[in-house]
Amino acid sequence: MEENKRTSEQNTAAEQNAGSSSTSANVAARISEEERQREPWRAEKEDLTVGERLRKWKSRSEKNLFRFLTVKLIYPFFYTIYRVRKIDDKKVVFVEPSQLKPTNSMKGMLRAVKARDDYNVVQMSLGHNKVRKRYQLMREINFIKEYATARYVFTTEALATVGGFEKRKGTTVVQLWHGCGAFKRFGLSTADYRFGSNLATKKKYPDYRNEDLITVSSPEVVWAYEEAMDYKGKGVVQPTGISRTDIFFDEDYVREARERVFAAVPGLNGRKVILYAPTFRGRVKTAYAPESLDLEMLRREIGDEYVLLIKQHPHVKERPQPPESCSDFAWDVTGELTIDDLICAADICISDYSSLVFEYSLFGRPMIFYADDLEDYNDWRGFYYHYDELTPGPVVDRTEDVVDYIKNLDTKFDREEVDAFRDRFMRSCDGHATERILDFIGLK
């Protein structure tokens, strides 16, 4: 009877989470044995020793103190000092919060602005989770110095650095968000999920503040970004299209991208390309990759006709390598090929909860959603839309089902389903998003 009650409660929670456009109620957290082994710091309190609890408390306290001192005191102090100078109407700052080099989400806009010879372009990286704290602090202060007198600022991720103060009038901040559509929850939308911090903390240290424009891929998803970034009803989130998608409408780029992929894959021998691009599991700092897809079965069943190229999420530091038995079939190309090139070249895409499927839909090709941990992932982070209704392709949890779909593409692939998905979530991406964004903010 108790088991039936627990099952009923879990089902009710799942129904409330699916497709909700408001922040969901707390979901019961289930920590698997694999999660305990990979991330023991997430174990329940009763599993921790007194010493472990003290160390965890000390680490958390030091982190919270550093955040308070920087975001609430140090950064506002330096901004107040530097803002006494006039805004430079020709200064355009491009900042990557976590990546050390400009990402694909930034490059198209960067090229477009640099093509306007009369602008002073400043490129910066804050090095979040990439450099030591003292070096990150120096980078942050240098950024504040440039930010204080910039006419335009472009970023591609959450910019918590400026969350402790209001920017001056005359500076326009554009969030070139790195994903399309609205798939897994982020920002304030995760406040009641295990993936996110609590709502009070997110409100105290906002990741999204001072933006004047947040670019999204379609009118369909405006509500999700307004919820996640706390901009409801403010007109900041606009369906201008995503700058990085413009290259997918450039025939020369697509052709060259395919050539780069084919040149990088040994022994392709005329076989078709399957892209396997799962998102990460766990938290950003300790992200790991799923490993349940049976690569040996795929090689045995479809290896004569296909090769498998694996692209792991950038947050995954220790990437699992394909077994030696698959050396002529599966390659991890995470460090060698960009996701944009792979999207252009892949004949089939296998993913799980990654937003890259939105970009991939622009090509109208088959997609398979391998989601053998769907229930746990929904509890962990949640989705903006009901997963089974959102996905323009089969949702499977066994490698056998992946094989069956690929072997029977002629009868099982529904191109109209993919086209409808594209029209719904990528409507504003037409190859002209970059210029439309520049026109919107008045950067001539």
Q: Does residue 105 have a pLDDT over 70?
A: yes
The answer to whether 22 and 227 are in contact (CB under 8 A) is yes
Q: Within this chain, do residues 253 and 356 fall inside the same structural domain, yes or no? A: yes
Distance CA 438, CA 444 (A): 7
Q: Within this chain, do residues 198 and 116 fall inside the same structural domain, yes or no? A: yes
Q: Which of 40-44, 205-209, 434-438 has the highest mean pLDDT?
A: 434-438
Domain annotation covers residue 277: yes
Q: Within this chain, do residues 230 and 281 fall inside the same structural domain, yes or no? A: no
pLDDT value at position 355? Answer: 92
pLDDT by residue (tens digit) across 272-313? 999 999 988 888 778 889 999 999 999 999 999 999 999 998
Give me the number of domains the chain comprises.
2
Domain annotation covers residue 218: yes
Task: State both tokens at 330.
Answer: 């599966």
Distance CA 80, CA 60 (A): 29
Q: Within this chain, do residues 228 and 286 fall inside the same structural domain, yes or no? A: no
CATH number at residue 77: 3.40.50.11820
DSSP state of 315: T
Q: Within this chain, do residues 229 and 255 fall inside the same structural domain, yes or no? A: no
Q: Does residue 89 have a pLDDT over 70?
A: yes
More confident residue, 11 or 290: 290
Q: Within this chain, do residues 229 and 278 fall inside the same structural domain, yes or no? A: no
98-105 average pLDDT score: 90
Domain annotation covers residue 263: yes
Q: Within this chain, do residues 198 and 344 fall inside the same structural domain, yes or no? A: no
The answer to whether 214 and 187 are in contact (CB under 8 A) is no
Rounded to 10 degrees, the C-alpha dihedral 211/215/218/222 comes to -10
pLDDT value at position 196? Answer: 65
Domain annotation covers residue 286: yes
Domain annotation covers residue 100: yes
Q: Within this chain, do residues 257 and 227 fall inside the same structural domain, yes or no? A: no
Q: Within this chain, do residues 218 and 294 fall inside the same structural domain, yes or no? A: no
Residue 428, SS3? coil
Q: Among residues of the chain, what percentage have pLDDT more than 70?
A: 88
Domain annotation covers residue 41: no
pLDDT by residue (tens digit) across 303-360? 999 999 999 988 888 898 999 999 999 999 998 999 999 999 999 999 999 999 999 9
Query: Domain residues for 398?
Result: 248-425
Domain annotation covers residue 26: no
Q: Does residue 225 have a pLDDT over 90?
A: yes
pLDDT by residue (tens digit) across 15-46? 434 444 343 333 333 334 444 444 433 444 44
386-393 average pLDDT score: 92
